[in-house]
Amino acid sequence: MTIRNLLFAGTALVSLALPFAASAQDAVPDQTEDPQAADAAPGQGEIIVTARRRAETAQDVPLAISVIGAESIEATGNFNINKLQQITPTLQVYSSNPRNTAVNIRGLGVPFGLTSDGFEQGVGIYVDDVYNARVAAAVFDFLDVSQVEVLRGPQGTLYGKNTTAGAINITTNQPTFDFEGKAEVSLGNLQFKQAKAAISGPLSDTIAARIAVSTTSRRGTIFNVKSDRWINEQDNFGLRGQLLFKPSEDLSITLAGDYSDQQPECCGTVFVRVGRTQRALARQYDALAALQGYSVVSKNPFDRLTDIDASLNAGNKIGGASLKVKWDVGPGTLTSITAWRFWDWKPENDRDFTGLPIVSKSQNPSQQDQYSQEIRYNYSADKIDFVVGAFGFKQRIDTQGTEQHGAASSKWNLTGAQANDPSILNGLTAINTQWLKSTSAALFGQVSWKVTDALTIQPGVRLNYDKKSGFYERKVFDAQGNPVLFGQTDPIKVAQRGVFSPQVSSPSVSDWNFSYDLTLSYKIAPDILTYATYAKSFKTVGINQNGLPTDAAGNPITSAGVIKPESVNHFEAGIKTQFWDRRATFNLSAFRTEIKNYQATVTNGQLGVLRGYLANAGKVRSQGLEADFSVRPSERFTAYASAAYTDAKYVKFVDAPCPPELSGGTTVGAGQTPSAPGTPGGLSPANCDISGQRLPGVSKWSFSYGAEVNAPVTLLAKDGQIYFGVDGNYRSNFSSNPSPSDYTWIKGYALTNFRAGFRTDGFDVYGWVRNAFDVNYFELLQVAPSNVGLIAGQPGDPRTWGGTIKFSF
């Protein structure tokens, strides 16, 4: 609590001090640490990145990297990680709520579906060099961001165990010793309101400060007839403050603090379709709904109507503080980054996706604290560049869960006379208590040896140690508060255990891993770079933190408590070019990534027994081609286009969970053959072989493009430019279920955005239209529990429009 109080006090002090300091003293020369770009070529300036933990131009980095500048982020309305995939074809972001968010690159990263705290993400997310351990802790609005780098392919040498698929490196604007500020206001339909402001300047000759604030609100896109409210809204607030102490040219110390608060009524779904499962016909959705006289409010999902009856909330508080010290020591730079982050998650969900009181309460709030320390030394000379360092990390997550069934649950989940007795399941409650402790330490290094002016050899290594321990306890109580226990033979207790079963588990594991990579790069010409990379990486060992599968007697299978680390072999080759006097850039990369013991999500289809756990798939593979092109023939026109072909599939997964059309029937016995998919009352396999099928969430083809044209004009006695821009993206179809199902394929779609405005020095006003052609598409489809065949979904945003005014000084 003391650290949090210091954080809030510090940001408040910055906000109070800045206006007085700025007016009290003259501006002094800019002494920030931002690297100076190389001399701009006739076509365009260089883009500076820190992908290799040092400042260099993007075209000199032998790595597939997408760089999105602040102007592109703002112009396209991509104000958080969820929306970045619209301008980065190989990035996939899918979210049923902030906690259950998947950020993947090239189809790899995290398993699709419910999130477990017991394993690592495969795409590391960094803000000003500070690692965010959970994806949910990084779904804040971008605040005063300078640029975002999306590093494609394993980055384990410099970024660690959590980057088997890549990394997202977010850089914010730093304090300046020249007074500056900016403000932005946007208004649009759906009651959209967004405001951003930042101010920076000197407090003394050696201290500079910067503070930024943003707020975003928007009416929801789905109307809930039950509550008479629009849901899936936006309600976000963010604050960031920084103090820079620069006593000399060789030393800088930056203290930063940030806080983000999101309180939307979210995240609900709409009815999409019903598919046949292998349950008895009377136990499937249509029959069960008719039995209770229930009909969905609309069978057209793009009516955007729902009648879900449980409370909704996606309360998400994120924040932290960091201290960054950079000290130039001789030919190198010593950097230390000390950070603390917190994440408080307060959700409420409707887990049955219907307007019936089947699951009346589903709430699993979590609290996370993480501490990290990184020290590294960068050295640069004519022939050798290197970085060496150490990293330490400590994390604790606590979760308290409450799930409760309602009056409609018995008819939905029980058979015979029990189905007509609502008291059996009405009020049945599961109380979950769990915690995770995670500790990690690493030593790393990377060397760039310039053998000749053209040839560079770059090896890298990392040694990593992890220790994880967890605890999970589920206690079950009936409506009268009596415990439901194993060993009770009362038929009612047996029925209740079939929905919620008590369990205790405490998995623990530690592991060492060694990863390495080797990159060869060769400059065919000053503006043509070729490279080839091999990387041996890993995702660390994991534990099942949300409960374990059970044997026939209901006892947890303890051997399932630990999941093996992923073993990654990655090959990549590429070429980076600039031509037409650097007016045009074209980059091409080809890659192949193979992962053994892929950490996948497994579900058993039951409503409340165990929603999902982790297991190892034998092997997955992702391979493909990526191309990026940009051109700026003159200051009057710019354009870009990016394309990706990604072939990502399970190479070997012989005991995967079955899709809904092969689930719900009697499990096959010896010598029996499973029934055809969707056969009511059929025989279901215990598990399915999905080897050769596509990984979830990834499109084979994806494209993004954009262009802007401008013309000089004088308006209101101001010399400036009028401009018109267009941005678009396309994704081909993809699976929205861990095991591909005929019912959960999302059709491909294309989105188009337009903007037009006037800008001059320090002023920009423009109007915008996003999803201009009002395309109907889904972001996510979900299989409802119990194998009843119900498919629910989250439609993407409809057409939105509005205007933005920006000032800077």
Topology of the domain comprising 2-666+697-808: Maltoporin; Chain A (2.40.170)
pLDDT given at position 294: 96
pLDDT given at position 120: 87
pLDDT given at position 612: 65
As a whole number of angstroms, the distance between CA 795 and CA 67 comes to 28
Q: Does residue 710 contact residue 722 with C-beta atoms inside 8 Å?
A: yes
Low-confidence ranges of the chain (pLDDT < 50): 1-43, 605-610
Identity of the residue numbered 347 = P
Instruction: Tell me if residue 157 falls in helix, strand or coil.
Output: helix
Taking the CA atoms of the chain, what radius of gyration do you get in angstroms?
Answer: 27
> Per the structure block, which two tokens stand in for 253?
């110390």
The set of residues, in sequence order, having a beta carbon less than 8 Å from that of 287 and lying 6+ positions away, is: 281
Q: Does residue 230 contact residue 264 with C-beta atoms inside 8 Å?
A: no
- H-helix or E-strand containing 367? strand 366-380
Q: Domain coordinates of the chain in residue numbers?
A: 2-666+697-808
> Per the structure block, which two tokens stand in for 743?
């019912």
As a whole number of angstroms, the distance between CA 435 and CA 364 comes to 12
- H-helix or E-strand containing 84? helix 81-84
**CA trace torsion 542, 544, 550, 551 (10° rounding):** 10
pLDDT given at position 605: 46
Predicted TM-score (pTM) of the model is 0.91
As a whole number of angstroms, the distance between CA 426 and CA 127 comes to 46
pLDDT given at position 603: 61
pLDDT given at position 86: 82
- Sign of the CA dihedral 277, 279, 280, 286? negative
Degrees, nearest 5: CA angle 685-688-690: 160
As a whole number of angstroms, the distance between CA 107 and CA 709 comes to 34
CA distances from 164 to 360, 392, 478, 569, 722 (A): 39, 19, 44, 10, 44
